[in-house]
Amino acid sequence: MQMIYRNRTRTPQTTVAFFLVILIIIALITRWIDIIPFGYFFQSIITGSRNNFKLQESPQIYSSDFNCSLNCSETSPLPKITINSLPESCPEYFRWIHEDLKPWKETGITQEMVEKAKDVANIRITILNGRLYTEKYKQGFQTRDVITIWGILQLLRLYPGRLPDVDLMFECDDKPVIKKKDYNNKNTNASIPPPLFHYCGDESSYDIVFPDWSFWGWPEVNIKPWEILKEELKEGSNIIKWEDREPYAYWKGNTKLGAARHDLVKCNKSEDGKARIFNLVWKKEKKQGFNSSDLASQCTYRYKIYVEGLTWSVSEKYILACDSMCLIVKPRYYDFFTRSLLPTIHYWPINETNKCRSIKFAVEWGNKHTNEAQEIGKAGSKFVQENLRMKYVYDYIFHLLNEYAKLMKYEPIVPEGAEEICSETLICSVKGAKRRFRKHSMVKSPSNSLPCTLPPSYDSQDLRGLQERRENLTKQVAMWEESERANTRGQSILK
């Protein structure tokens, strides 16, 4: 008390000097305790950072040194920790979890239903008492399946002891596979589709949407884990102010994937075209050390186009994160967060049958309405920067698995032929970029806050309202486009 009292009478300079000395002493102490083993714990409280992880929020952290000579069954289970803080509520898009699981709401999920998906699934994932077992049915593309398992293992590290036992089938290719039309006979057992997890869905499928692997990094094409890339994109979008960016619509990617992209290339050629389209040949990129595909340095255009490839594309979050107005060519597929994006609020809708004209109009509109265009750009970025924080990606999976487990009508067991996989296995078995990305995306400490609280399901009126709102907003743009066209027609007649 006396100290504080006396401090008041000091000059500001001496007070600053005093705190500097204190800070230096603290720094020295933390250096020192770093040498002793439990220094880790103290250091985490005092300095709040090691491996760039926010430790002040967390009472304990996991050892970052894996013992690679242990097999999974020898690793000790992660203890559940007590959490006292009240959870916040989840973003709106979590409500789609209820929609995705609706087909099994009345019937529940039986073992037969799950196993019916064996023929189409790449892997089966079974979680029992916080341990993960997997069985591989068919080889998927690159390491999508393994990274997906890695993601779930990290979830188990984030919320130790809180995940229910589950047994599920996962499909890792591009296209949704459980077609609605195959299960529309209400009176037979065949009317119930097999529950299958997948990265995307569409209006005609029952696939249960699960965050794609790219959130933990895509080592094959050098796309870093989202937690890191998200920050890089935030910095990248601060480099050039919106007004100073190229006043065109930019897209760079693999133009060979899908008809829509093929079509988009044509917009590059048109004389007064406002599109700047660049093809990315990943094989060549790899040879050049990925020197022209860095995402954070691509925030240099006022407008950025999103177009689907074979189905959904992992690029949507990167494109939205640039503070540029995102021009979304009407998508057919959705992933776990995109169903809550709204046209003219988070992005600008582009007519899929008339892309070039529609892009041209969007760019001209934005260059005339720069404030509005910037606002749309900012709203899209804010959506991904805030609602798509890694914590929410984990929370989404947490709730999805939790709701799924509630529907399960059986106690899962380790399937015959399944093997246990743990973070150790997946770190120790790889090197290079794969290992680096896994180390970067590893959950370093259990969460000290609970998963956010899951919002209730939509009722049919909510859903209709949402769809109508989306349609109305899109129609508005179509009308502007149309009247602009009528005007220019009028002008050319006058000329």
Ligand X SMILES: *[C@@H]1O[C@H](CO)[C@@H](O)[C@H](O)[C@H]1NC(C)=O
Q: Which residues bind ligand X (CB under 6 A)?
A: 67, 69-71, 73-74, 112, 189, 255, 265, 268, 277-279, 288, 291-292, 351, 353-354, 465, 468-469, 472, 474, 478
Which one, 255 or 298, has the nearer CB to ligand X? 255
Q: Is the dihedral of CA 144, 147, 153, 158 positive or negative?
A: negative
Which one, 244 or 246, has the nearer CB to ligand X? 246
Q: Cα torsion for 259, 265, 271, 273, to the nearest 10°?
A: 90
Angle 370-387/355-368 helices, nearest 10 degrees? 110
CB of 6 to ligand X, least distance (A): 51
Closest listed residue to residue 182, CA positions, set 116, 121, 125: 116
SS3 53: strand
How many Cβ atoms are within 10 Å of 287's Cβ, its own excluded?
Answer: 10
Give kind and range of the element (H or E) at residue 202: strand 201-202
CB of 64 to ligand X, least distance (A): 13
CB of 199 to ligand X, least distance (A): 26
Q: 329 phi and psi, to 5 degrees?
A: -70, 125
3 state SS for 271-323: CCCCEEEEECCHHHHHHCCCCCCCCHHHCCEEEEEECCCCCCCCCHHHHHCCC
Which one, 135 or 173, has the nearer CB to ligand X? 135
Distance of CA 8 to the CA centre of its chain: 50
Which one, 47 or 279, has the nearer CB to ligand X? 279
Which residue's Cβ has the minimum distance to ligand X? Answer: 478
Non-local CB neighbours of 348 within 8 Å, separated by 6+ positions: 303, 325, 326, 327, 328, 362, 365, 366, 376, 477
Which one, 241 or 485, has the nearer CB to ligand X? 485
CB of 474 to ligand X, least distance (A): 6
In Å, the largest CA–CA distance within the chain is 87
3 state SS for 432-488: HHHHHHHHHCCCCCCCCCCCCECCCCCCHHHHHHHHHHHHHHHHHHHHHHHHHHHHH
Which one, 85 or 189, has the nearer CB to ligand X? 189
Which one, 393 or 477, has the nearer CB to ligand X? 477
Which one, 376 or 390, has the nearer CB to ligand X? 376
Report the C-alpha gap between 334 and 86 in whole angstroms.
31
| Residue 201, strand partner residues | 334
Which strands sit side by side in the sheet containing 275-279, from one edge to the other?
Answer: 275-279, 246-253, 301-306, 325-329, 348-350
Report the C-alpha gap between 381 and 211 in whole angstroms.
18
CB of 424 to ligand X, least distance (A): 10
CB of 203 to ligand X, least distance (A): 15
How many Cβ atoms are within 10 Å of 203's Cβ, its own excluded?
Answer: 9
CB of 169 to ligand X, least distance (A): 16
Which one, 84 or 353, has the nearer CB to ligand X? 353
Which one, 182 or 468, has the nearer CB to ligand X? 468
CB of 344 to ligand X, least distance (A): 12
Which one, 325 or 329, has the nearer CB to ligand X? 329
Closest listed residue to residue 348, CA positions, set 402, 293, 304: 304
β-strands 201-202, 166-170: how paired? unpaired
CB of 176 to ligand X, least distance (A): 23
CB of 150 to ligand X, least distance (A): 19
CB of 61 to ligand X, least distance (A): 17
Which one, 11 or 73, has the nearer CB to ligand X? 73
Report the C-alpha gap between 57 and 79 in whole angstroms.
18
CB of 110 to ligand X, least distance (A): 6
